[in-house]
Amino acid sequence: MDIGLIAQQTVNGLMLGLIYSLVAVGFTLFFGVLDVIKFSHGDMLTWGVFTAFSVYLGLTLIGLAAPVLILVIVALVAMAAIGFLGAAIAKVLIIPLKGAPPLNTLLITLMLGTVLRESIRLFYPDGANPKHFPALLPDWSHSWGHFTLRFDNALMLLTGLLMIVLVQLVIKRTKLGMAIRAVSQDEETARVMGINFNLVVYVTFAIGSALAAFAGVIYVLYYNELSFNMGLLLGAIGFSAAAVGGFGNIYGAIVGGFLFAMLQSIGAAALPFASAYKDVFAFGVVIVLIAVKPTGILGEKETERV
């Protein structure tokens, strides 16, 4: 295999890894504050993409022509809307179930994911069919031999990495981040210290969901296609990535996301069987990894063993 192809696969893998990481960071944030898995996360991403698409249609309808401006508005509106939706879901479905067995929350959000997915399929105009999303970034590119670096890919990668760094800074350096970390460590002590627990939960869910919408916009810019069930697999992959990295650990989520993308790339390019088996391979490795490291590579904070 020549070096150009490898470079191409690497860029592809990095893009996917970035998207998976963004989704996985959401999972891990939710797990941090409430010890719950919100499985509808992938479908929040779908909703983000469809919001973005609708806003795009609306903007072109009123005659806005500057693609970059459209993109910025589209991304911001999608993130704000999905962030709000995430907080609302936390209020209505997640917090009321706080005392119930944790798997109930997993189930309820799985079902919520189905509700979100199906409502797009049934109620969005022509929602059952895939749609085309236009390329809103300029299509400059530069070639080295067989390897073509597209400007928009590089820009997306950069923005995505900046976003991860930003979230990391918010968590580590701000007062809000300190509150989030306090709640993840010990809810009751955090309350005693005067932290508004519910507010922190809402804000965390808003941040995580907005990240999902952001990941969705990047995904749809990269693949130029959106469909109602795109979120299911992305959600499952994000969940796997967060679990493989270790729930509650942001670095773990990032490592897990890029690891999963790497596995897919290896499965597609470097292994002897057909590339269609790449997901089979990647999920298989995830199962093995979980068997070897039951609380993820970077490990959850505490485990109780008998």
Question: Whole-number minimum distance, CB 177 to another protein, in Å?
Answer: 24
Given 84, 147, 251, 277, the residue binding another protein (CB under 8 A):
277
Question: Whole-number minimum distance, CB 107 to another protein, in Å?
Answer: 6
Question: Whole-number minimum distance, CB 75 to another protein, in Å?
Answer: 29
Residue tagged 């070096």 (tokens): 3
Secondary-structure breakdown of the chain: helix, strand, coil percentages, each rounded to the nearest 5: 75, 5, 20
Given 9, 240, 264, 265, the residue binding another protein (CB under 8 A):
240
Say how far apart CA 144 and CA 155 lie, in whole Å: 18
Return the number of the residue (70 or 97) whose C-beta is nearest another protein: 97
Question: What value, to the nearest 5°, has the Cα angle with vertex 10 and ends 299 and 1?
Answer: 125
Kindly state whether residue 274 participates in binding another protein, applying the rule CB under 8 A. Answer: yes
Kindly state whether residue 271 participates in binding another protein, applying the rule CB under 8 A. Answer: no
Kindly state whether residue 108 participates in binding another protein, applying the rule CB under 8 A. Answer: yes
Kindly state whether residue 243 participates in binding another protein, applying the rule CB under 8 A. Answer: yes
Say how far apart CA 30 and CA 144 lie, in whole Å: 42
| H/E segment holding residue 149 | strand 147-150
Kindly state whether residue 50 participates in binding another protein, applying the rule CB under 8 A. Answer: no
Return the number of the residue (31 or 56) whose C-beta is nearest another protein: 31
- Residues numbered 135 to 174 that lie near another protein (CB under 8 A) are none
Taking CA atoms, 19 is separated from 4, 218, 221, in Å, by 23, 7, 11
Question: What value, to the nearest 5°, has the Cα angle with vertex 182 and ends 177 and 188?
Answer: 145
Q: Which of 233, 239, 235, 230 is nearest to 53 (CA)?
A: 230
In this chain, which stretch among 77-85, 103-111, 159-167, 216-224 interacts with another protein, using CB under 8 A? Answer: 103-111
Question: Whole-number minimum distance, CB 266 to another protein, in Å?
Answer: 16
Question: Whole-number minimum distance, CB 96 to another protein, in Å?
Answer: 7
Kindly state whether residue 276 participates in binding another protein, applying the rule CB under 8 A. Answer: yes
Q: Which of 278, 276, 266 is nearest to 1 (CA)?
A: 266
Bridge partners (DSSP) of residue 132 are: 225
- Residues numbered 10 to 39 that lie near another protein (CB under 8 A) are 31, 37
Given 20, 56, 228, 239, the residue binding another protein (CB under 8 A):
239
Phi, psi of 144 (to 5 degrees): -120, 105
Map 31-46 to HEC letters. Answer: HHHHCCCCCCHHHHHH
Contact positions toward another protein, by CB under 8 A? 31, 37, 93, 96-97, 100, 102-104, 106-108, 110-112, 114-115, 118-119, 122, 232-233, 236, 239-240, 243, 247, 274, 276-277, 279-280, 283-284, 286-288, 290-291, 294-296, 304, 306
